Amino acid sequence: MTAHPSAYDAKVARRADPAFGPARDAGVLEAADIHVATRLGVLAGEQDWLPLLALALAVRAVRKGSTCLDLGEAVGIPDEVRRAGEETELPAPSLPEWPADADGWRDAVSRSALAAAGVLVVEHDLVYLDRYRRQEVQVAQTLIDRSRATAPRVVEDVLAEGLRRLFPADGWAEQSSAAGRAVRQWTTVLTGGPGTGKTTTVAGLLALLAEQHEALGGSGRLRVGLAAPTGKAAARLQESIASASTVFGAADQARVGGLEASTLHRLLGWNPRQRNKFRHGADNRLPHDVIVVDETSMVDLTMMARLLDAVRPQARLVLVGDPDQLASVDAGAVLADLVDGYRQVAPDTVARLLVSRRFDEAIGAVAAAVRDGDADRVVELLRDGGSSVDWIEDGDPAEVLRPRLVERALRLRRLAVDGEVTAGLAALAEHRLLCARRTGPRGVVGWNRLVDQWLSEAIGDPLWDPMYVGRPLLVTRNDYGLGLLNGDSGLVVAGENGVPTAAMVTAAGVLQLGAGRLSDVETMHAMTVHKSQGSEAPEVTVLLPDDESPMLVRELLYTAVTRAGSRVTVVGSEQAIRTAVGNRIRRASGLRERLQAL
């Protein structure tokens, strides 16, 4: 029996349309982009090369995080390929049939069979796959409708007294102002860097809203939905709100007590047996009076569209996050678009907290300089960082970092062998080695293997058992049966009779179970910056890729540096630092412009 080749196989892409060959050889398009374009082109009866190229690039754009293709930028791709070849001193493939005029290209796509079939939609110089254009329009229109609705009823004297009670005057003016605004409107975007008090603001806001509910004669308890994109982030949200409310009086503690957070998928009632099917939507709205979404920077356009479809028009929606952090791994930079879009037309919708209480002063200064795009200042601060900021710019990172990483691995090993669960988990939480990507010479996979090798050499043990005692663990998929969530971490320790036991840190506390029961886990000597979002550690080491890597962007460096509480070490050349600070994630989107039509 003859095996059928995969639709993503490069050989299929070569046979699909020879005109795509130069773009494929130049690394501009991948096999999947070409396959989708040629297949849909056949179904639509498309004969023109320009619309087919636009379709392939639109697929590529979504794969890289954009919601659409910007033709104005796409005409410059040959120049980018040429410059990349010059920088690497390699011959750059030519792209002879590449369009040089965005207007002519747009007109060709607008008149195409693909556009007539509804596969592509053209707006201005943006080309959308129909699905993402519909989602973008829906998100913008829903938010515009919410902003135009009659404001919620508020008992102002009760609110004024509640703000004084929950946010004492000294040092809480930002949080008080943000909470007061959120009470008076249906939609609030609450932003701020780590340690600026976003969760404290949310906890106080929920107490204020519950008090308003009582003052307005509402029956029963205020219905609150707490959610986040991942299980780990949801658990942190629940824990943080419970912790923040401990400083409240008894009545306010009762108002926010017992709240549970879930993933967005669980909030909306995702059915894993029916792909992309959710219980809640436009025809079955969520019952909540208030919905709070944390880590909104990680929410993609598709999930935001589903959420807004399910939220009742008369329910308050609070979107919380840091727009300067890395965006979702899927299409869209929704939080950043909302902040920029609202800024011009409805600035009160966005409440930004600026004063951070988490960082050492030097770390905070580096983070601020990165956020502001000031490369000279970042380099200056890294050179003069003192005891809390270290910069390793010369030498082989493996040789430079080996002593400290081996020391940490040996310490974990000793505590694990002795069965010291509490001390072992505390040691694990002290430090994070963060990489830009999973693969490659400075990726997570390679560094995890390298530290395992060094540990093996240091203790004279080949560590054949995948669940060796002392192995740090990171959960990569939710396992509700075991009570583990994606992002939970732990350590393999010696249990009774020396049997390897996984001690895992979960939202419910430390869970100990046979190490052999775990399946979706990986070693955690190192982790990606993306995986670290929403967490922190006293000490962080940031391993930057070389200065030609496309992963070097401002959002990545900012996210990595702001994971550190008391000490950060940046490993990378000055050029890598400057490249990262100077490059921003570029995601084509029309959402902010649509919001500005408000």
Q: Give the model confidence (pLDDT) of 146-193 as tens digits.
A: 999 999 999 999 999 999 999 987 788 999 999 999 999 999 999 998
> How would DSSP label each residue in 513-535?
EEGGG--SEEE-SEEEHHHHTT-
Q: How confident is the model at residue 4 (pLDDT cuts 50, 70, 90)?
A: very low
pLDDT score at 275 = 62
Whole-angstrom Cα distance, residue 42 to residue 512? 55
* Runs of H (alpha helix) within 358-443: 361-371, 375-383, 397-417, 421-429
Q: How confident is the model at residue 410 (pLDDT cuts 50, 70, 90)?
A: very high
| Pairing label, strands 564-571, 537-543 | parallel
Instruction: With beta carbons less than 8 A apart as the criterion, state whether 252 and 233 touch.
Output: no
Cα 517 → chain centroid: 29
Quick one: average pLDDT of 477-498?
84
pLDDT score at 318 = 97
Q: What percent of the chain has pLDDT over 70?
A: 93
Three-class SS state of 292: strand
pLDDT score at 506 = 80
Instruction: With beta carbons less than 8 A apart as the criterion, state whether 105 and 51 touch.
Output: no
Q: Which helix (H) or strand (E) holds 85?
A: helix 77-88
pLDDT score at 83 = 67
Q: How confident is the model at residue 492 (pLDDT cuts 50, 70, 90)?
A: very high
CA torsion 84→88→91→97, rounded to 10°?
A: -10
| pLDDT above 50 for 231 | yes
- Minimal CA–CA distance to 188: which of 156, 152, 158, 220? 152
Instruction: With beta carbons less than 8 A apart as the criterion, state whether 521 and 473 touch.
Output: yes
pLDDT per residue over 552-578, tens digit each? 899 999 999 998 888 999 999 999 999
* Runs of H (alpha helix) within 167-297: 173-183, 198-215, 231-244, 250-256, 264-268
pLDDT score at 159 = 97
Per-residue HEC secondary structure of 120-147 comes to: EEEECCEEEEHHHHHHHHHHHHHHHHHH
pLDDT per residue over 98-116, tens digit each? 888 899 999 999 999 999 9
- Return mean pLDDT, the chain: 88
Quick one: average pLDDT of 365-374?
93
pLDDT score at 6 = 47
Q: How confident is the model at residue 39 (pLDDT cuts 50, 70, 90)?
A: very high
pLDDT score at 7 = 46
pLDDT score at 509 = 79
Put simply, whether the predicted model's pTM sits higher than 0.95 gets the answer: no
Whole-angstrom Cα distance, residue 223 to residue 213? 10
Whole-angstrom Cα distance, residue 199 to residue 237? 8
Whole-angstrom Cα distance, residue 55 to residue 17? 13
Quick one: average pLDDT of 366-378?
94
pLDDT per residue over 57-106, tens digit each? 999 999 999 999 999 999 888 877 776 655 555 555 567 778 888 999 99
Whole-angstrom Cα distance, residue 298 to residue 328? 4
Quick one: average pLDDT of 203-231?
93
* φ, ψ dihedrals at 535, nearest 5°: -120, 175
Instruction: With beta carbons less than 8 A apart as the criterion, state whether 205 and 174 touch.
Output: no
Q: How confident is the model at residue 360 (pLDDT cuts 50, 70, 90)?
A: low
Quick one: average pLDDT of 323-346?
88
Residue 501: both structure tokens together:
């036991």
pLDDT score at 17 = 64
Three-class SS state of 242: helix
Sheet of 389-392, strand order: 389-392, 564-571, 537-543, 431-435, 526-528
pLDDT per residue over 248-304, tens digit each? 999 999 999 889 998 898 899 887 666 668 889 999 999 999 999 999 999 999 999
pLDDT score at 2 = 40
Three-class SS state of 36: helix
Quick one: average pLDDT of 494-517?
86
CA dihedral over 391, 396, 397, 401, signed as positive or negative: negative
Residue 149 amino acid letter:
A
